[in-house]
């Protein structure tokens, strides 16, 4: 059985469901399990500790539970009312919820579980004794019969004691054949705690009555002015908290002398733990106590914060998820979405945080920006780099000055552009820019800035002098004379703005010597993608494409005599284009109709791949192509004999016989 299943089964047993009934349930223990989610709010940060088992497991007043798991410390929102520890190896800890259900966990489970079938639990005491609201009690063997109207109890191993509303005290060994027996009556009883042999009953008057559970030894009163009690596990020592906040011990083996524990004062409650005592003080705080020394038990404190991102590189339009990981003094890590007030984006034109609480960063423009977390005095940041594969058009060189298109450039930089009455209003980060067509100055944040030229229209786009970007420290640019393009550098990102000539220049560079083929005329032979056979075509264009790995492919565009365009297939490698065009089996560099004045009947046979008697060798070569084997010979009278073999001789093949260059026989 899985560990979680064992825990759930134990919860069912505490709540009065027998082991047999649980195991025979077809849905098994997992069906009774209500999984809990890691706490998703911050209420625990301002909460206070109200109950303790040890330094790894304690309860907060908002119902949250700090506990140890197989992955380290975690906090879970379980709406718990109280918690208690157990020495049982399979089930370490219990808790009960505000609505009376039982929760269980151990140091190896990934989450605590709440038994869905449990209900009506008022409190769990000792090592798993459930006191219910209706006065019944239960533990691992189910509901205990013979006892009713219970108000308190305690349990060690299988042994347990119960205090009823009528102040009766009951005891049982917990064995299957054992029935609870009444061992005494203590007027004004408030609380009961047990060792292996004695039950200590706290009374309203502040005295403690000691009852021997195994013999008929008379009851004995111990102490006075006592507010709460506990037996130190594995000992014969009763520890008490007095109403004045002092702590005293009473050792049964020494006949209960009162000994004050030094170093403890203002105590209202004690919790026993294997390594130390935990004391809750009057101000609500907790301390651990061992060998006369107290050590505070406090909520984990924040020790580090890290801003997490799904990516540090992005493209315009991307959404990047931000999260904040908080690290606490106990090793706990809590991941959450950042608050808008916590995030500072150095350049809001590059990216901005969405205000919907999603923690997403919307990428607006190219460049780089620091994204910083500013909270709790613990900074964390990263640099977001935004690049664009897009190439803009509309650059121009006018009178020695570089001009750039207004709308596309500022939008790519992450700005918003509105146009009204030939006026461009641009919001770019912290800058408000106004450009008026025909003006040689710009308004930047309400102040005039001189331009090195006018705002004007070139090739259908409104352009501005590019030096404005340098003046505003938005980027540097240069003019690439060889490619006739502007290159804008924004941080480590480069944006290219082409002129109408740029594409032609780049294509000429890509084509190299292939550009000489454009405009040349060919006649189609067996390259069927270029139209009718023997038809005249012209190389209209050669298109170049580049894959993500930088490998270039080339596609020849032919145009027939009738104006029809033929797109061929792409070929990798520039050298394959001239190879294809120079292959006479694919293309001819002459007009075959003019060179060979054959009848239309012959041309029709050739186009239909037919060979007939009387055809010459050139006609056969056009019809069937080059033979696999060509044999020549001559007769004694000078007659020239020739045989052409097509195909594999061992399989299918065709043979054409020629005499003096004319077909005399065809063997199929």
E strand or H helix at 54: strand 49-54
> Are 174 and 160 in contact, with CB atoms under 8 Å apart?
yes
- Considering all CA atoms of the chain, what is the largest pairwise distance in Å, rounded to the nearest integer? 151
Between the CA atoms of 293, 299, 303 and 305, what dihedral angle is there, to the nearest 10 degrees? 170
> Are 183 and 170 in contact, with CB atoms under 8 Å apart?
yes
Q: Reduce the DSSP state of residue 266 to 3 states and report it.
A: coil
Quick one: what percent of the chain has pLDDT higher than 70? 92
CATH code reported for the domain at 302-387: 2.60.40.1080
What pLDDT sits at residue 36?
34
Quote the pTM value: 0.68
Closest by CA position to 183, among listed 154, 207, 163, 166 = 163
Query: pLDDT tens digits for 448-467?
Result: 999 999 999 999 999 999 99
Q: What is the DSSP string of 510-577?
A: HHGGGGGGTT-EEEESS-GGGSSTT-EEEEEEEEEEE-TTS-EEEEEEEEETTS-EEE---EESTTHH
Q: What are the C-alpha distances in Å from 50 to residues 57, 76, 125, 298, 530? A: 11, 15, 16, 11, 87
What pLDDT sits at residue 43?
80
**pLDDT of residue 528 exceeding 50:** yes
- pLDDT category at 649 given cuts 50, 70, 90 is low
Is CATH 3.40.50.300 correct for 596-667?
no
Q: Reduce the DSSP state of residue 151 to 3 states and report it.
A: strand
**pLDDT of residue 584 exceeding 50:** yes
**pLDDT of residue 357 exceeding 80:** yes
Handedness of CA 141, 143, 146, 149 (dihedral sign): positive
**pLDDT of residue 608 exceeding 90:** yes
Average pLDDT over residues 49-67: 94
What pLDDT sits at residue 108?
85
Q: Angle 617-624/600-607 helices, nearest 10 degrees?
A: 40
Give me the numbers of helices (H) and strands (E) for the chain, helices first please: 9, 61
Query: pLDDT tens digits for 406-421?
Result: 999 999 999 999 999 9
Report the mean per-residue pLDDT for the chain: 89
What pLDDT sits at residue 91?
57
- pLDDT category at 371 given cuts 50, 70, 90 is very high
CATH code reported for the domain at 392-493: 3.30.457.10
Residue 379 or 613, more confident: 613
Average pLDDT over residues 420-449: 95
**pLDDT of residue 14 exceeding 70:** no
> In the β-sheet with 392-393, what is the strand arrangement from edge to edge?
392-393, 493-498, 485-490, 476-480
Domains of the chain, by residue range, sit at: 1-119, 302-387, 392-493, 504-591, 596-667
Query: pLDDT tens digits for 225-266?
Result: 999 999 998 889 999 999 999 999 999 989 999 999 999 999
Query: pLDDT tens digits for 544-576?
Result: 988 888 898 999 999 998 999 998 888 888 899
What pLDDT sits at residue 650?
63
- pLDDT category at 617 given cuts 50, 70, 90 is very high
């Amino acid at each position: 059985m899985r560990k979680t299943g064992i825990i759930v089964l134990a919860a069912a047993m505490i709540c009065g469901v027998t082991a047999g009934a649980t195991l025979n349930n077809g849905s098994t223990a997992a069906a009774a399990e209500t999984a809990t989610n890691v706490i998703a709010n911050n209420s625990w940060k301002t909460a206070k500790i109200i109950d303790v088992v040890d330094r790894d497991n304690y309860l907060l007043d908002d119902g949250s539970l700090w506990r140890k798991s197989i992955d380290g410390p975690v906090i879970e929102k379980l709406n718990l009312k109280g918690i208690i520890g157990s020495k049982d190896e399979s089930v370490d800890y219990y808790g009960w919820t505000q609505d009376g259900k039982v929760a269980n966990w151990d140091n190896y489970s990934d989450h605590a579980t709440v038994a869905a079938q449990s209900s009506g639990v008022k409190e769990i005491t000792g090592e798993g004794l459930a006191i219910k609201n209706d006065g019944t009690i239960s533990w691992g063997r189910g509901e205990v019969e013979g006892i009713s109207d219970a108000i308190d109890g305690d349990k060690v191993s299988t042994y347990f004691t119960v205090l009823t509303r009528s102040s009766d005290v009951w005891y049982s060994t917990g064995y299957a054949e054992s029935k609870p027996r009444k061992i005494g009556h203590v007027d004004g009883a408030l609380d009961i705690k047990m060792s292996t042999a004695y039950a200590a009953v706290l009374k309203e008057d502040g005295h403690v009555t000691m009852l021997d559970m195994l013999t008929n030894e008379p009851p004995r009163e111990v102490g006075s002015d006592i507010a709460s009690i506990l037996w130190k596990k594995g000992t014969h020592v009763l520890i008490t908290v007095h109403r004045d906040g002092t702590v005293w011990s009473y050792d049964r083996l020494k006949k209960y002398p009162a000994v004050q524990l030094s170093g403890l004062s203002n105590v209202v409650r004690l919790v026993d733990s294997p390594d130390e005592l935990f004391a809750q003080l009057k101000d609500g705080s907790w301390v651990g106590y061992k060998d006369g020394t107290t050590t505070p038990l406090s909520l984990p404190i924040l020790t580090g914060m890290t801003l997490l991102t799904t990516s540090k590189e992005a493209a315009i339009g991307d959404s990047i998820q931000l999260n904040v990981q908080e690290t606490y003094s106990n090793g706990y890590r809590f991941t959450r979405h950042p608050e808008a007030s916590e995030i500072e984006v150095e350049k809001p034109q590059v990216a901005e945080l969405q205000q919907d609480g999603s923690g997403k960063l919307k990428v607006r423009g190219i460049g780089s920006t620091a994204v910083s977390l500013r909270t709790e005095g613990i900074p964390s940041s990263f640099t977001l780099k935004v690049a664009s594969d897009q190439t803009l058009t509309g650059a121009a060189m006018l009178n020695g000055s570089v001009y750039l298109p207004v709308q596309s450039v500022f939008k790519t930089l992450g700005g918003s552009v509105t146009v009204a009455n030939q006026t461009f209003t641009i919001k770019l980060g912290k800058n408000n820019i106004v450009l008026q067509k025909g003006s040689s100055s710009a308004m930047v944040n309400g102040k005039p800035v001189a331009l090195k030229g006018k705002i004007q229209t070139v090739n259908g786009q409104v352009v501005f002098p590019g030096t404005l970007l340098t003046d505003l420290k938005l980027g540097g640019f240069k003019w690439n004379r060889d490619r006739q393009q502007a290159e804008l550098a924004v941080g480590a990102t480069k944006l290219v703005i082409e002129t109408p000539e740029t594409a032609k220049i780049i294509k000429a560079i890509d084509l190299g010597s292939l550009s000489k083929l454009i405009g040349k005329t060919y006649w189609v032979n067996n390259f069927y993608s270029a139209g009718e056979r023997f038809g005249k075509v012209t190389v209209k264009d050669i298109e170049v494409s580049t894959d993500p790995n930088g490998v270039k492919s080339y596609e020849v565009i032919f145009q027939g005599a009738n104006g029809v365009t033929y797109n061929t297939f792409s070929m990798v490698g520039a050298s394959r284009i001239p190879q294809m065009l120079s292959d006479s089996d694919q293309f001819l560099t002459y007009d075959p109709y003019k060179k060979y004045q054959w009848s239309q009947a012959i041309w029709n046979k050739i186009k239909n791949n037919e060979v007939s008697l009387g055809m010459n060798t050139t006609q056969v070569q056009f019809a069937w192509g080059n033979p696999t084997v060509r044999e020549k010979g001559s007769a004694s009278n000078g007659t020239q004999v020739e045989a052409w073999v097509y195909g594999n001789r061992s399989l299918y093949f065709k043979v054409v016989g020629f005499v003096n260059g004319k077909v005399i026989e065809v063997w199929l």
